[in-house]
Structure 1
């Protein structure tokens, strides 16, 4: 199915990407050549600053790899600068309720009249786009992914989904299990994940999930998850190197 990432998410297409924890445009370039559907720059758990994001965004556009970013912080003023660099969207951790979701969407969509507007950055072709064209293009294609990874958020799923500019629930199973004080994996965690999936179906919001290994994708896709962040660049490198060195003992 062709189209931009937001269109593909909203259509429920199976999409597979990974986290990028290394501040390197070369990693982004390689993942793009490998044919991933998207990647998420992990500013929450990786040492990646704005200038490094600039070069990674440049690489992503060179190979046509949609990039999202996630990072820490209760405030949402980090979002617009990343979209200005040309990122496709954001994945925001620990979204608890409707107010959180509204604040994120305010920071992304120009139509909400709160995001600073200028077509001068890369996202506006350095002024090559008119203000109306830039505003419309950005609002149509920018992706808003809200992470559901706290037990208290499970009571607000319908309200979060009702925020019309939210494109996806993304389940963080490690943090969710910690918040619930259950094992990862565990039946209790699976029940919570199922509740999120059902809320997504009920409200027409796509659901994504982190998995540590691609072998987990098929089973969760059958249950209604359509987007998967599978491991990370570091995990892919470590796994490949470990397998290579195992040849010494073969």
Structure 2
């Protein structure tokens, strides 16, 4: 009587985690660094104070729109003394093309006066003092600390929130949860520039309505289930 052959066991498939592994995160930032070794903010500034004003004005506005306004404003007033001297009504015409300009004008002038009264006109380097300024929240403080003073902070805007969740880098339901997650998983050697890499990736590749997945160098790592169709770039293979 012939002996029945044993059936080969079906190969087991390892379920892919919804989060990137440490090795994948290392690869992710190595690729982003290779594409853009020295990323910079797209806001135009020359001093920490100009950056602080520009970031304050950028809330619910584009960097392009803010730059158009500050190119006219900063040659006239780019110090707390000069902004305070302009006053709210004097500042408004320079930033009238930016959304919420009435509120922003009041905040920027009040911020200038507080810097003069409490910080001798200098932008403070610590978070508590920055967040105590009118119009300055955690995200603005993080941008200034990172970009002006080189601190390894993570400012999470809509672009970074989207990228962190889509890719599986640091999923979270709130901005603060994503910020804490990013600070935990990003390798220290990439942390200083990570904010810029992620925001630029979200702005130009991992766009909200139609991400450009075919030209994304992170495509093979990314956990986003609704990738747009097309041939992947060789760099992402």
TM-score normalised by the chain length of structure 1: 0.28
